[in-house]
Amino acid sequence: MNDVAPIRRALVSVADKSGLLELGRALVEHGVVIVSSGSTAAFLRDGGIEATAVSEVTGFPELLDGRVKTLHPRIHAGILADRRKPAHLEELERLRIEPFDLVVVNLYQFRETVATGASIDEVLEQIDIGGPALVRAAAKNFHSVGVVARPDRYAAVLDEIRSTGGLSEATRLRLAREAFAHTAAYDAGISEWFAENEPSGGVEEDRPEAEWPPERLSEALALRAPLRYGENPHQRAALYESEGHPGPLGGARVIQGKEMSFNNWLDADAARATAWMFEEPCAAIVKHSNPCGVALDDRLAVAYRRALEGDPVSAFGGIVAFNRDVDGEAAAAMSGVFTEVVVAPGYSEGALLAFAARENLRVLEAPPPSPRMAIEIRHLDGGALLQDSDRLIETREEMRVVTSGEPTAEQWEDLLFAWRVAARVKSNAIVLATGRATVGIGAGQMNRLTSVTVATGNAGERARGSCLASDAFFPFRDGVDRAGEAGVSAIIQPGGSVRDEEVVAAAEEGGMAMVFTWRRHFRH
């Protein structure tokens, strides 16, 4: 049975005019009558392509500054008529309504307009009303109508029309599925924008209590690329990007090396976030989403070497991130260590030349993370958890020294540095630092004492005189005692345990200064 639906009449109305002239010419060459509206009709006619105006079909001019164009029975009945039902065809004939076989519509550029910082009125004008109605109508009636909502589908659709005279039902079904995903993502973007804006139009940094938590969550994600496999070779995987955004890691692009793996993307995201926690030039080395070495220095090469010294064993096969453009000296400093990915905002010619000799190295160019506060969604079986992203907003002035001995100026620098790094380490997190560089990290342990043991064990003699950060309070004095035995000189931690007095006493007995931050940074 031939399930190819011939294409004789098309409704074309698009905001994104990429490839539109090529599409229009090909349809006209195939004998397709094009009906179009507004700027799309003008664009086609300027390109020498004949197009019937929607107003000629409806008998009405465009109304309300173009807000009303296609919302008319002669348009929607022509799309929604089910050709399998004789009664529908008879009704169209009686009312002299011509059916559409193809609907080519993409929507006003709402997210792109929001991203420009446009006013609330300008943003509201980019909420498409007629477009989604056309797309949904055609997708619902895929048995009779083909719908194309993405310019990157034009070539494949035209190839099929040229070879078969129309579109198969399988193709129409696939296009319908994509169309509903397109409108769902569009509506999700609008919903997110309304949730983030006051009635006056001011964007809030913190959500008002009346809007928290949101009644519904929606994630608008579009396929970026299939991946070779997931965390393990037997798992299927793919990379998606948020609709209307540049893409993963701010639109990162691989400028050298083979495609990124699932684990590469996860670790690159963690490394980039760690490096950009600091205003000073930073090098961060990450393994399995945990920092294993972080250091600050005006020279990136020095920062990298000091980060590497923090745990050279774990750095093998890791991800390196910089928060400055990488120069040739820094690239050369990395030459002796096998690295999966390096991610930075840019690279000098010297750096790229040095990296070119390492064919297994992926070089990823990514802009700074967005400063906008985000939310995190974690999926559960049959549900999800939502939270604000963790932010380090506590200041030194808000912290309290709880021991008789005050930290020195140098210790304060290392304490605050270690505190920031600890916020990126999986709990229970312990970070030792000296000279604004990590010398030992304990991550992901089931108890804090073991984390201290791991961190001081990795540091060895470098633990002596170091400063320790703990992402949450010490529930017992044993972790502090262990740190004192290793030679730690100062500790920063949230405080708040019922045994705080015992913990502070342990620090006093060990000759260590202790600072409470009153804020924890668990990272499960």
Q: What is the DSSP string of 41-61?
A: HHHHHHTT---EEHHHHHS--
Candidates 17, 88, 245, 288; catalytic one: 288
- Radius of gyration of the CA atoms of the chain, in A: 30
Candidates 30, 140, 143, 245; catalytic one: 140
> 289 near 314, Cβ under 8 Å?
no
> 106 near 150, Cβ under 8 Å?
yes
Alpha-carbon distance 2 to 164, whole Å? 10
Cα dihedral 502, 518, 463, 286 sign: positive
Q: How far apart are the first and last CA of the chain?
A: 56
Nearest of 56, 13, 67, 14 to residue 36 by alpha carbon: 13
Alpha-carbon distance 403 to 506, whole Å? 10
288 is catalytic: yes
For 474-494, give one letter per residue: b (16+ CB within 10 A) or e: bbebbbbbbbbebbbbbbbbb
Q: Which helix (H) or strand (E) holds 93?
A: helix 86-94
Q: What is the DSSP string of 285-337?
A: EEETTEEEEEEE-SSHHHHHHHHHHH-HHHHTTEEEEESS-B-HHHHHHTTTS
> 475 near 497, Cβ under 8 Å?
yes
Alpha-carbon distance 419 to 494, whole Å? 10
Q: Which helix (H) or strand (E) holds 343?
A: strand 339-344
> 180 near 134, Cβ under 8 Å?
no
Alpha-carbon distance 122 to 511, whole Å? 62
Q: Which residues are catalytic?
A: 140, 288
